[in-house]
C-alpha cells in the first residue's frame, strides 16, 4: 500500500475516533444497558435489510502461516473432507522439517554398533473438525525441494515430494488415546511408523568429514523434511474431517528407538529430532486445498438481485460475504441528525438440505471489516471494536452463540456497530460495504495491527441473508430524535 494510501486510512481512523469519542452524540453516553424506553414518540426501533454477495477468498487474502515471538508456528490441519454437502471437499497436508537437537550430532560414540528397532513420526494432536469416526489414511514422503525456515508461506503453497517412507490408517477419535510402555508415556499423538530403511539411513550416517550432522545447513541439504499427505482414494476415500496438530509442541518429533553395543554390553536408547531444535528454525507449510464443485456454495456465488438469501461462510482459507446496507442512506436523508443508542448487526444459522452442524460446526468468531471501495482496501471498525487502543470483541461481538430454534441449536452472531452508524448519520462517514468472514488472523500491515480469530480451516456455517424467509440478517437500530 502506498504512503498516500496509508495516510488516508490513518486520517480516517483519527476522524472516526475523534467524532466517536469527542462529540456530544455518543452511543456510550447512554450505553446498551441504559437504552431509553422505546415509546415511538421520542425513541424508535427499526431494522435495515442487508444485501449480501458470496465470494471465494482470492489468493491475495489466503492465510500466511508465520511465527510468534518464540518461533511457534501454531496448529496445522491434516486430513481429507470427502463430503461436505454445503462446502465441498478439502485436502490438508503438512510439510515440516524435524532436525537434530544440536550440531555436530551423534547418536552414540559407537557408529558401527548401532541397531535400529524402529523410527516413528509423532505429531501432537489438538482437536478434530468433521467426522471423527471416518477412516483417514495418510502417507509420509520425503520433501524434494528446499523450504525456507524464515519464510511465511500461504496455504496455497505447493511443495514437491516423493518416495513413500510410511503409511497410517486411523480414525481421528483414536488420537485421544494414551500410550504407556516401559520406555514412555504419551497421549494425544498421531504416531506413524516409518520404514527401517529410512531410519537406518539417518541412524548410520558417517559422522566424519562433511557429514550432514556437522551443521544445520548440511543436514537441511541432505534431508529436506517430511510430507504428510492424506489419501483421497482407496481406504481414505470415505474420510470426512480435518485434524489439528501442534507443530511446535515438544510432543511433535521424529523418534528413533535403537540398540547399541559398547564395551561388550548392549543397551537400548531413544532419541528425537525436533521442530526448531536448539535455536535452528525449521521450515513448515500447511497446504489446504478447497474444492466447491457440486456443493451448495457453488450455486450461491456472485451477485443476485436483492442479495442472496443464504450466506456461506467457511473459515479461512475459505469464503466471505460482502454486505451492503443501502437503507441507511435513505434513513439519513429522512431523519437527519438523530442519536443512535444501538446499531446491532445480527445473523442466524439457516438450515439447508446439506446441513451437518453436528460434525461441521460454525466458526468460533465472525469478523466484519469495512471495505473502502475508493482505496480498494479493508480496515477495522476502530470506534466500535477497540477500547483504549486494544481490540475488544466482548463489546464489539462477533463470537459464536447458540439459540434454540424449536428443538435444534443454531449458531447466532451479533456485532455492535453503534458508533460507526452514528458517524454515518451525523458526520457524513461514507456508508461503505462490510466484508464478513471467519479469518484465522487479520493483519493491517500499515497500521501495525494483527488480530487473532479462528483456528485454521476450522468452522463453516450457512447464515440467513437479508431476504431469507425466516432467518433474516439485519441491522437493528434504536435511535432518538434530537
Alpha helices, H only, 214-354 = 216-222, 327-335
Q: What is the pLDDT of residue 182?
A: 60
Strands in 51-56's sheet, in edge-to-edge order, are 51-56, 319-324, 434-437, 367-372, 377-379
Summarize the confidence of residues 126-143 as an average pLDDT: 98
Q: pLDDT, tens digit, for every residue of 245-283? A: 999 999 999 999 999 988 888 899 999 999 987 778 999
Q: What is the pLDDT of residue 163?
A: 97
Mapping DSSP to helix (H, G, I), strand (E, B) and coil, where does residue 283 land?
coil
Q: What is the pLDDT of residue 11?
A: 46
Contact between residue 147 and residue 97 where contact means Cβ atoms under 8 Å apart: yes
Q: What is the pLDDT of residue 262?
A: 80
Q: What is the pLDDT of residue 26?
A: 37
Summarize the confidence of residues 312-333 as an average pLDDT: 97
Q: Is pLDDT of 22 > 60?
A: no
Higher pLDDT, 186 or 158: 158
Distance CA 440, CA 61 (A): 11
Question: How wide is the angle at C-alpha 99 spanned by C-alphas 96 and 104, nearest 5°?
Answer: 160
DSSP 329: H
Distance CA 134, CA 79 (A): 11
Distance CA 217, CA 208 (A): 16
**Weakest-pLDDT range from 195-199, 373-377, 455-459:** 373-377
Higher pLDDT, 363 or 67: 363
Band (333; pLDDT cuts 50, 70, 90): very high
Task: Return the exposure string of 175-197: e unless at least 16 CB atoms fall within 10 Å of the residue's CB, then b.
Answer: beeeeeeeeeebebbbebebeee
Q: What is the pLDDT of residue 4?
A: 46
Assign residue 223 a region (left: φ > 0; alpha: ψ between -120 and 50; beta: otherwise).
beta
**Weakest-pLDDT range from 111-115, 226-230, 345-349, 430-434:** 111-115
- What whole-number percentage of the chain has pLDDT above 70? 93
Distance CA 478, CA 416 (A): 12
Question: How wide is the angle at C-alpha 77 spanned by C-alphas 73 and 78, nearest 5°?
Answer: 130
Q: Is pLDDT of 296 > 50?
A: yes
Q: pLDDT, tens digit, for every residue of 165-211? A: 999 999 999 999 887 766 778 899 999 999 999 999 999 887 777 89
**Weakest-pLDDT range from 30-34, 51-55, 286-290:** 30-34
DSSP 295: S
Kind and range of the H or E element at 10? helix 3-22
Summarize the confidence of residues 1-14 as an average pLDDT: 46
Kind and range of the H or E element at 273? strand 265-274
Q: Is pLDDT of 29 > 70?
A: no
**Weakest-pLDDT range from 18-22, 313-317, 385-389:** 18-22
**Weakest-pLDDT range from 315-324, 402-411, 460-469, 472-481:** 402-411
Mean confidence (pLDDT) of the chain: 90
| Overall residue count recorded for the chain in this entry | 482
Contact between residue 239 and residue 133 where contact means Cβ atoms under 8 Å apart: no
In terms of Cα–Cα distance, which of 377, 373, 372 is closest to 2? 377
Mapping DSSP to helix (H, G, I), strand (E, B) and coil, where does residue 29 land?
helix
Residue 117's φ and ψ, nearest 5 degrees, are -95, -50
The 10 Å Cβ neighbour count of residue 34 is: 9
Distances (CA, A) of 59 to 80, 242, 296, 319, 445: 21, 21, 22, 11, 17
Amino acid at each position: 500500500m502506498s504512503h498516500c494510501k496509508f495516510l488516508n486510512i490513518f486520517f480516517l481512523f483519527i476522524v472516526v475516533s475523534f467524532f466517536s469519542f469527542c462529540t456530544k452524540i455518543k452511543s456510550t453516553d447512554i450505553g446498551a444497558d441504559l437504552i431509553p424506553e422505546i415509546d415511538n414518540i421520542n425513541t424508535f426501533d427499526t431494522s435495515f435489510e442487508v444485501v449480501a454477495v458470496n465470494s471465494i477468498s482470492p489468493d491475495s487474502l489466503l492465510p500466511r502461516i508465520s511465527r510468534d515471538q518464540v518461533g511457534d508456528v501454531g496448529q496445522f490441519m491434516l486430513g481429507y473432507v470427502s463430503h461436505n454437502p454445503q462446502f465441498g471437499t478439502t485436502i490438508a497436508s503438512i510439510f515440516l522439517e524435524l532436525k537434530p537437537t544440536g550440531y555436530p550430532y551423534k547418536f552414540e560414540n559407537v557408529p558401527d554398533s548401532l541397531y535400529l528397532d524402529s523410527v516413528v513420526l509423532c505429531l501432537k494432536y489438538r482437536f478434530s473438525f468433521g467426522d471423527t469416526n471416518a477412516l483417514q489414511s495418510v502417507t509420509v514422503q520425503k520433501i524434494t525441494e528446499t523450504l525456507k525456515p524464515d519464510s511465511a508461506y500461504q496455504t496455497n503453497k505447493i511443495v514437491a515430494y516423493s518416495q513413500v517412507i510410511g503409511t497410517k490408517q486411523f480414525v481421528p477419535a483414536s488420537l485421544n488415546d494414551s500410550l504407556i510402555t516401559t520406555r514412555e508415556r504419551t497421549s494425544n499423538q498421531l504416531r506413524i511408523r516409518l520404514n527401517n530403511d529410512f531410519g537406518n539411513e539417518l541412524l548410520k550416517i558417517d559422522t566424519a568429514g562433511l557429514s550432514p550432522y556437522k551443521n544445520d545447513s548440511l543436514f537441511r541439504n541432505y534431508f529436506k523434511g517430511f510430507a504428510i499427505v492424506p489419501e483421497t482414494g482407496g481406504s481414505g476415500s470415505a474420510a470426512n474431517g480435518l485434524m489439528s496438530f501442534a507443530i511446535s509442541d515438544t510432543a511433535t518429533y521424529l523418534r528413533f528407538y535403537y540398540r547399541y553395543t559398547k564395551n561388550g554390553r548392549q543397551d537400548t536408547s531413544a532419541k528425537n529430532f525436533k521442530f526448531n531444535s536448539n535455536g535452528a528454525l525449521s521450515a513448515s507449510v500447511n497446504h489446504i486445498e478447497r474444492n466447491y464443485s457440486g456443493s451448495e456454495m457453488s450455486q450461491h456465488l456472485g451477485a443476485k438481485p436483492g442479495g442472496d438469501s443464504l450466506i456461506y461462510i467457511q473459515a479461512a482459507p475459505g469464503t466471505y460475504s460482502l454486505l451492503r446496507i443501502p437503507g441507511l442512506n435513505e434513513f439519513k436523508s429522512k431523519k437527519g441528525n438523530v442519536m443512535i443508542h444501538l446499531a446491532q448487526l445480527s445473523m442466524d444459522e439457516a438450515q439447508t438440505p446439506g446441513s451437518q452442524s453436528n460434525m461441521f460446526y460454525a466458526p468460533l468468531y465472525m469478523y466484519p471489516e469495512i471495505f473502502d471501495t475508493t482505496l480498494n482496501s479493508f480496515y477495522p471498525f476502530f470506534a466500535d471494536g477497540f477500547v483504549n487502543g486494544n481490540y475488544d470483541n466482548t463489546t464489539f461481538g462477533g463470537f459464536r452463540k447458540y439459540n434454540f430454534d424449536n428443538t435444534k441449536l443454531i449458531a447466532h452472531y451479533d456485532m455492535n456497530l453503534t458508533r460507526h452508524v452514528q458517524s454515518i448519520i451525523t458526520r457524513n462517514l461514507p456508508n461503505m460495504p462490510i466484508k464478513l468472514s471467519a479469518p484465522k488472523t487479520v493483519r493491517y500491515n500499515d497500521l501495525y495491527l494483527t488480530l487473532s480469530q479462528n483456528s485454521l480451516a476450522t468452522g463453516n456455517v450457512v447464515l440467513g441473508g437479508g431476504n431469507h424467509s425466516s432467518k433474516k440478517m439485519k441491522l437493528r437500530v434504536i435511535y432518538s430524535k434530537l
